[in-house]
Amino acid sequence: MSLNVINARVTFHKSPIHMLERFTFRDLDSAYSSFLEHSGLQECVILQTCNRVEVFGAGSAHDVEKIKKTWASIGGLEENAFKENLEISEGTEAFEHLLKLTAGLDSLVVGEEQILSQIKGAITVARESKTSGNNLNTLFDKAIRVGSRVRNTTGISRGSISIGSIAVKLAEENIDDLKSKHILLIGTGEAASLVAKSLKKRGIEFLVTSRTFERSKAFAETVAGRPIEFESALANFKKVDVLFVATVAPYFLVTYERVRDAMESKRDGMMILDLSNPRTVDEKVATIGRIKMFNLDQIAEMVDKNMRTRRGVVSSAEKIINEELPVVQAVMKRLQVEPIVKGVFKDIDTVRVKELKKALQMLGETDEEKIRIIEHLTQAIVEGIISTPMNNLRKASEQGDSELLKSVSKIFDYNTKG
Ligand SMILES: NC(=O)c1ccc[n+]([C@@H]2O[C@H](COP(=O)([O-])OP(=O)(O)OC[C@H]3O[C@@H](n4cnc5c(N)ncnc54)[C@H](OP(=O)(O)O)[C@@H]3O)[C@@H](O)[C@H]2O)c1
């Protein structure tokens, strides 16, 4: 089936990170059902990370308005909620966007590794739930291959700094002798591990906590830090000089009251870095005296500065993408003719098998060797006649010649719209 690929996205480029939450899909299964049912898409892959919410679709009857409407209705948003936040790419532009994503070129921290595994995860989920099909599966497989090539040949990931190390750098720049301070990390997930690795690399000791003590213990053993009970950590902010928070709690873990009370019995200041999106530190905390607070948006600004110093690696990565894009385009175009090629081969083979059976019956042939020779003869004739036109059809499609596809569909009475 001939389908067009579209990508609709809300990302940190056009929307502050704390606003992205409005556009995320809480129930992925029902989001998939809605897009497939209401927006004219036959295939769909949803990619959600802390920096982006993206819908990749393939369809023959979709339009941007339908996608927007469906997205708004899933999230209970006003239809004008998207304003300039929503970016749309179609066809080749959508392919290019996915290649940049897998290469890490569209990431907040250019070259970061997580996005590639997040994309692999998204297509695996879509494949398993059968919301993606031949078009998006092929596109994602190719893009993942290109992303790996970029990372293996340009060293883009090696030179990149993580959001965790930027956060630690911010703490270092704002606090004298960070090593001697009491540091607490709340969170034991992926983002927390980026902070922990960076602290460990600098030889800085810290406490780590999350709701389940076992998880904190395992984190301390496998990543770094000294585990501490969650409630005791939350009740003892007065002992903390630097607090990193990276959790997905749906409420403020670090409340105004808790910090205010802690600061009353504390002489020195406290620095709080909230990497969470949505925030898990109440913004009002920043108004308390001697508190220095940074949230993910501010950390992201630092990341942006870092990117400007890495232009060389970026341009090598872009060169690879420019080389690979026509290959991906050709593969995707060829995909459009594969159903008809398969269909024609199948129809002709059905005739061949039927006629072969008839002929063998009429001949009353029982010699297996002779039957095998006759069968091979029929196969060779079919392939000899049909292979060249079908290969020409594939080539024409790769070169964007849709006229031949129309003619072949007409000749073989094949409906390309499926
Ligand atoms: N991953 C990244 O690269 C990245 C980058 C920038 C920002 N972020 C942001 O960082 C935050 C964490 O992301 P992640 O990727 O690390 O997630 P994750 O791997 O799923 O980890 C989530 C963490 O949150 C804790 N948690 C979950 N529910 C909680 C609750 N109700 N109260 C307290 N803690 C809770 C979990 O530990 P327990 O269940 O044991 O409490 C775990 O430590 C998110 O807000 C994300 O947007 C992530």
Q: Give tens-digit pLDDT for 35-46.
A: 999 999 999 999
Nearest atom, ligand 1, residue 192 CA: 16
Q: Measured from the CB, is residue 247 less than 6 Å from ligand 1?
A: yes
**Confidence at residue 418, expressed as pLDDT on a 0 to 100 scale:** 45
Distance 189 CA to ligand 1 centre (A): 5
50 is catalytic: yes
Q: Measured from the CB, is residue 218 less than 6 Å from ligand 1?
A: no
Q: Measured from the CB, is residue 18 less than 6 Å from ligand 1?
A: no
Angstrom CA distances, 291 to 263, 267, 272, 287, 294, stand at 9, 12, 7, 7, 10
Inter-residue contact 62 to 7 (CB < 8 Å): no
Quote the CA–CA distance of 311 and 198 in Å, as a whole number.
24
Structural domain boundaries in the chain: 4-159, 163-308, 333-411
Task: Output the CA torsion 214→218→224→226 (10° steps).
Answer: 30
Q: Measured from the CB, is residue 246 less than 6 Å from ligand 1?
A: yes
Distance 252 CA to ligand 1 centre (A): 13
Structure-block tokens of residue 209: 């906590």
| Phi/psi at 59 (5° precision) | -165, 170
Instruction: Dump pLDDT digits (tens) for 222-270.
Output: 999 999 999 999 999 999 999 999 999 989 999 999 999 999 999 899 9
Hey, which residues does 52 pair with through a beta bridge? 11, 49
Distance 263 CA to ligand 1 centre (A): 26
Q: Measured from the CB, is residue 169 less than 6 Å from ligand 1?
A: no
Q: Measured from the CB, is residue 11 less than 6 Å from ligand 1?
A: no
Distance 352 CA to ligand 1 centre (A): 61
Instruction: Dump pLDDT digits (tens) for 98-152.
Output: 999 999 999 988 888 889 999 999 999 999 999 999 999 999 999 999 999 999 9
Of 1, 36, 47, 50, the catalytic one is 50
Average pLDDT along the chain: 91
Of residues 9, 312, 46, 5, the one with CA closest to residue 136: 5
Q: Same fold for the domain at 4-159 and the one at 163-308?
A: no
Give residue 2's pLDDT band: very low, low, confident or very high (50, 70, 90): low
Pocket test for ligand 1, best of 190, 245, 253 (most atoms within 8 A of CB): 190
Which CATH class, in words, describes the domain spanning 4-159? alpha beta
**Confidence at residue 416, expressed as pLDDT on a 0 to 100 scale:** 56
Quote the CA–CA distance of 151 and 100 in Å, as a whole number.
11
Inter-residue contact 141 to 335 (CB < 8 Å): no
> The domain at 163-308 falls in which architecture?
3-Layer(aba) Sandwich (3.40)
Distance 49 CA to ligand 1 centre (A): 11
Q: Which residue is closest in CA terms to ligand 1's atom 29? A: 249
**Confidence at residue 125, expressed as pLDDT on a 0 to 100 scale:** 97
CA angle 111, 115, 119 (to 5 degrees): 140
Inter-residue contact 52 to 10 (CB < 8 Å): yes
Percent of the chain with pLDDT over 70: 96
CA angle 21, 26, 215 (to 5 degrees): 90
Nearest atom, ligand 1, residue 215 CA: 40
The more confident residue out of 317 and 278 is 317
Specify the amino acid at residue 164. Answer: G
Q: Measured from the CB, is residue 212 less than 6 Å from ligand 1?
A: yes
CA angle 106, 133, 52 (to 5 degrees): 25
Distance 50 CA to ligand 1 centre (A): 10
